[in-house]
Amino acid sequence: MAETADIVIIGSGIVGSSVAYHLAEAGCTNILVIEREAHQGKGSTGKSMGGVRAQFSTPVNIQMARYSIDFFSRFDEVVGHPADYRAHGYLFCATNERHLAYLKTNRERQHALGVTNVELVSPEDIAKFVPQLRVDDIVGGTFCSTDGFVDPHSVMMGFMLNARERGVKLWLDTEVTGIEVSPADSSSISSGEDFARRITGVQTTRGRVSTPVVVNAAGPWAAQIAAMAGVTLPVEPLRRQLVPTEPFDGLPQCFPMVIDMSTGFHFRREGKGILLAWNDPEETPGFKTDFDPGFVEKILTRAASRVPSLIDAEVNPQRAWAGLYEMTPDHHAIIGPAPNVTGLYFVNGFSGHGVMHSPASGRITADLILKGNSELIDTRTLGVERFSEGRLL
């Protein structure tokens, strides 16, 4: 018998899993999640640094982070699986007045939206968090104690296991190869509109699935999925590389994620070592997931300039890795219905924030599918139409 589902979710990373969880939690369980890999987490989710923060500059990102961090703090109890949320904080360090003014403006916006625990900190305060940090050129910063880290793989598994316990189906090792869209009906053709095109099913390597609703949760591959339905989605893959050090005790055992705003270099503790990150501005879009050994020297230069003791840290390039951000033109997510295909929903383009925003994005997508709106944010803000209408964030 042909397979049918009320909703098909394409992609079982942290975002698709959160959508499945939130739909199931709202009572909608005839859902099929389709994943082309044999295991979950092979996409961006398994490559993430796991950082979560409410210290954003735009209201929509602050609102989504606020909801998500509160969710992470209750995750184990609510979802029944550990998120490994560690509220170690995020410490932004400014080396010029322009960056400091930016942090102060953001802090006011964060406070106005209910994130009231973001503190302004002096260079002396910063040195107390991480005594090994060079602060001679730092003019100040901000710290938020509820920012921190989660285990992205565990969060993803928690969402999916909970959804499956409620009846959601997961097909692994199954690729979606096509999306079926009915042609526009004659009334819409005569009026010159094409919004009557609607989803009827998906084709997969396991056969056809009949469904009226498809959620595109395909991470960096989202534009390819949208194209299957004849829709252009402005999401591009961009390589990001992370370098863990070997065990290193030249920094405290517990300290916040530290962001050096002069270079964008940031780092946190990961077990006995330190996890080093820096977004190379020379990186170009593309499906590149190989780690470039030349990146080690680039990042260590930035690391040693901010934390001189890191010059002694050992790095094994074999343990470093690369993954893909899913970038949009304004570096904000795209969440909501496709404007010209009824039944197609996007939850894509997180531009480096898909883990930290996963609870909110799952909830908003479930709300939009089941109720047509969400109380969490003004959903028009993240709609894909913002690009054609010139409302970039």
Ligand X SMILES: Cc1cc2nc3c(=O)[nH]c(=O)nc-3n(C[C@H](O)[C@H](O)[C@H](O)COP(=O)(O)OP(=O)(O)OC[C@H]3O[C@@H](n4cnc5c(N)ncnc54)[C@H](O)[C@@H]3O)c2cc1C
- The answer to whether 181 and 194 are in contact (CB under 8 A) is no
7-15, 71-79, 129-137, 181-189 -> range binding ligand X (CB under 6 A): 7-15
- Verify binding: residue 240, ligand X, rule CB under 6 A: yes
Task: Return the number of other C-beta atoms located less than 10 Å from residue 162's C-beta.
Answer: 19
Q: Read off the tokens for 103.
A: 């942090």
Rounded Cα distance, 186 and 174, in Å: 35
- The answer to whether 66 and 75 are in contact (CB under 8 A) is no
Rounded Cα distance, 206 and 159, in Å: 24
Which of positions 50-69 make contact with ligand X (CB under 6 A)?
50-51
Q: Read off the tokens for 193.
A: 């509109």
- Verify binding: residue 274, ligand X, rule CB under 6 A: no
Which of positions 340-379 make contact with ligand X (CB under 6 A)?
350, 352-356
Least separation in angstroms between residue 292's CB and ligand X is 13
Closer by beta carbon to ligand X, 33 or else 133: 33
- Verify binding: residue 148, ligand X, rule CB under 6 A: no
| Burial of 194 per CB tally in 10 Å (0-12, 13-18, 19+) | middle
**Which of 8, 28, 33, 49 is the binder for ligand X (CB under 6 A)?**
49
Backbone angles phi, psi at 68, to 5 degrees: -70, -40
- What is the dihedral angle through the alpha carbons of 287, 291, 294, 300, rounded to the nearest 10 degrees? 120
Which of positions 152-211 make contact with ligand X (CB under 6 A)?
175-176
- Verify binding: residue 3, ligand X, rule CB under 6 A: no
- Verify binding: residue 336, ligand X, rule CB under 6 A: no
Closer by beta carbon to ligand X, 93 or else 334: 334
Closer by beta carbon to ligand X, 184 or else 346: 346
10-18, 54-62, 117-125, 179-187 -> range binding ligand X (CB under 6 A): 10-18
**Which of 37, 76, 280, 330 is the binder for ligand X (CB under 6 A)?**
37
- Verify binding: residue 16, ligand X, rule CB under 6 A: yes
Least separation in angstroms between residue 49's CB and ligand X is 3
- The answer to whether 274 and 244 are in contact (CB under 8 A) is yes
Least separation in angstroms between residue 64's CB and ligand X is 11
Least separation in angstroms between residue 127's CB and ligand X is 25
Provide the binding-site residues for ligand X, judged by CB under 6 A.
10-16, 34-37, 42-45, 47-51, 175-176, 217-221, 240, 242, 323-326, 350, 352-356
